[in-house]
Amino acid sequence: MSHSPLSSSIADLRKSYERAELSEDASHADPLQQFDQWLREAIAAQVPEPNAMTVATVGSDLRPSTRVVLIKGYDARGIVWYTNYDSRKGRQLAGNPYAALQFHWVELERVVRIEGVVEKVSDEESDTYFHSRPLDSRIGAWASPQSQVIPSRGVLVANAAKYGAQFLLKPPRPPHWGGFRLRPDQWEFWQGRKSRLHDRLRYRLEDGAWERERLAP
C-alpha cells in the first residue's frame, strides 16, 4: 500500500482565520497596554501555556537559535524571564544582547513579536523570584549544567541528590542563574483574518515615542 509523502499533505493544510480583527481604532497607542490586553485574554480563554514565548538569539557565528521559555514579568521596563546564564542563550546574549520574542496563541489566531536589547535584571529581582520557586526547581537550578553535554540522566539525578542534601530546604540562588529583561524597541501584533488578509500592526520606538503603522500581511 503506497502512501503520499507527508510534505504533500502538509502543503495542502489550510485554515480560515475568522475569530477577531485588529484595527488602528481598536488598539492601544501604547504597545505594552495592547500586549497586556491580549495576554489577559489568552489566559482567560485558557489557551495552553499562554505565558510561553519563543526567544531568538544570535551567536558569534551568526547562527540564530530559538527556544521556548516562560514570561515571568512585564512592565514599562520590558519583558522578563529567568534562566541559567551559562546556557547557550545566556552565552549568546552576553556576546550579542539583541534578541526577539514571539508569543503564538493559536486558538485566538494571534501572534505577538517583540524585538529589543536584553540586559540582566538586578540581583534583588533574581533573588526574589528564585526564592518564590518550588524547592525542586531551586535544587534543579543547581543540578543542571544547562546546555552542556552530559553522559546520562543519572548525572542530573545524582546532582539533585547532592545539592538537596547540601542545602536541605534553603538552597541559595546559584551565581550563574537569574533573570533577563528585554527592553523593546519594536512590537508587532498579528491577528488572523479571512482570505489571508491578516491584520498586522507594528509599533516602532522613535525619539522616545511609539509610532504605530499597519503592515501588509
In tens, the pLDDT along 158-193 reads 999 999 999 999 999 999 999 999 999 999 999 999
**Catalytic status, residue 196:** yes
pTM: 0.89
Burial of 152 (0-12, 13-18, 19+ CB in 10 A): exposed
- CA distance linking residue 193 with residue 101, whole number of Å: 22
Bridge partners of 114? 101, 187
What are the angstrom distances between the C-alpha of 72 and each of 18, 35, 42, 58, 137? 30, 14, 15, 22, 15
- Using CA atoms, how far residue 142 sits from 13, 51, 94, 153, 165, in Å, is 44, 24, 21, 15, 12
Bigger pLDDT: 208 vs 100: 100
Give the residue among 170, 173, 86 at the shortest CA–CA distance from 126.
Answer: 173
Q: 88, 133, 153, 196: which one is catalytic?
A: 196
pLDDT band at 20 (very low <50, low <70, confident <90, very high): confident
Locus of grid cell 488578509: 197
